[in-house]
């Protein structure tokens, strides 16, 4: 399976990104809506972005008691989304409840477990009481997620290879922390280029600022797609 590109929408309102999205139509198929836009604009932002013809990855990183997360999955699955995140640190039972809710409410929805945030390294993990390296923690949480029934994870590109060695081959791996050559790392600490992530086994890469800040966002996106070895997508 070729590695696909997901564009991050780092803005509080769809209005701020719509002009750029219209320029990217026919190039980028997937977009990621995170907490900033969802909390500022509400569920309607998902409908508005999906109405432009994009597939939506809703990155809410759900983390609560099992029943609350399950109900949240049921609720949000009514929106036009293709992917949804939860924190694997919530534990086996929370993830299992979320999987059951997803299977009953939206069988086609990809439920992704977030392992270790790409802004965190070994020092930050140690400060929270987690011993060992980021890679060790990612693999441990990835195995737990797979045992709980998840079939997708969000992880740093640096942990793609060890996860591929430890988990079923059908596991979807979505990787932020992607920076084209010459781009600033910003607040990410564990990064790779698009080509490196694709070779390591990423299913999707997540890119935001290097596209939105480019003089020509569509050309920046096409350059990344070429680096991935893929074709420019036909947005449905």
**Active centre residues (catalytic):** 61
Please, are residues 37 and 12 in contact by the beta-carbon 8 Å criterion?
A: yes
- The shares of helix, strand and coil residues in the chain, as percent rounded to the nearest 5, are 45, 15, 35
Residue 16 and residue 109: Cα distance in Å, rounded? Answer: 27
Helix/strand/coil for 82: coil
Residue 59 and residue 105: Cα distance in Å, rounded? Answer: 18
CA 72 to chain centre: 18
Helix/strand/coil for 197: helix
**Which H or E element spans position 84?**
strand 83-87
Please, are residues 80 and 56 in contact by the beta-carbon 8 Å criterion?
A: yes
**Residue 101: how many CB atoms within 10 A of its CB?**
23
């Amino acid at each position: 399976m070729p590695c696909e590109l997901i564009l991050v929408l780092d803005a509080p309102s769809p209005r701020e990104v719509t002009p750029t999205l219209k320029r990217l139509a026919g190039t980028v198929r997937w977009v990621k809506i995170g907490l900033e836009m969802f909390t500022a604009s509400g569920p309607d932002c998902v409908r508005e972005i999906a109405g432009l013809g994009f597939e939506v990855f809703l990155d809410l990183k759900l983390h609560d008691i099992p029943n609350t997360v399950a109900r949240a999955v049921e609720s949000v699955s009514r929106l036009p989304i293709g992917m949804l995140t939860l924190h694997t640190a919530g534990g086996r039972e929370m993830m299992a409840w979320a999987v059951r809710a997803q299977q009953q409410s939206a069988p086609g929805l990809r439920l992704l477990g977030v392992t270790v945030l790409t802004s965190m390294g070994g020092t930050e993990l140690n400060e929270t009481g987690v011993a060992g390296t980021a890679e060790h923690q990612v693999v441990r949480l990835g195995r737990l997620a797979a045992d709980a029934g998840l079939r997708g994870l969000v992880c740093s590109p640096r942990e793609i290879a060890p996860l591929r060695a430890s988990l079923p081959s059908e596991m979807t791996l979505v990787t932020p922390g992607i920076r084209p050559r010459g781009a600033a790392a910003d607040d990410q600490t564990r990064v790779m280029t698009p080509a490196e992530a694709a070779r390591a086994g990423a299913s999707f890469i997540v890119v935001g600022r290097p596209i939105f800040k480019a003089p020509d966002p569509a050309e920046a996106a096409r350059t990344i797609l070429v680096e991935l070895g893929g074709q420019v997508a036909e947005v449905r």
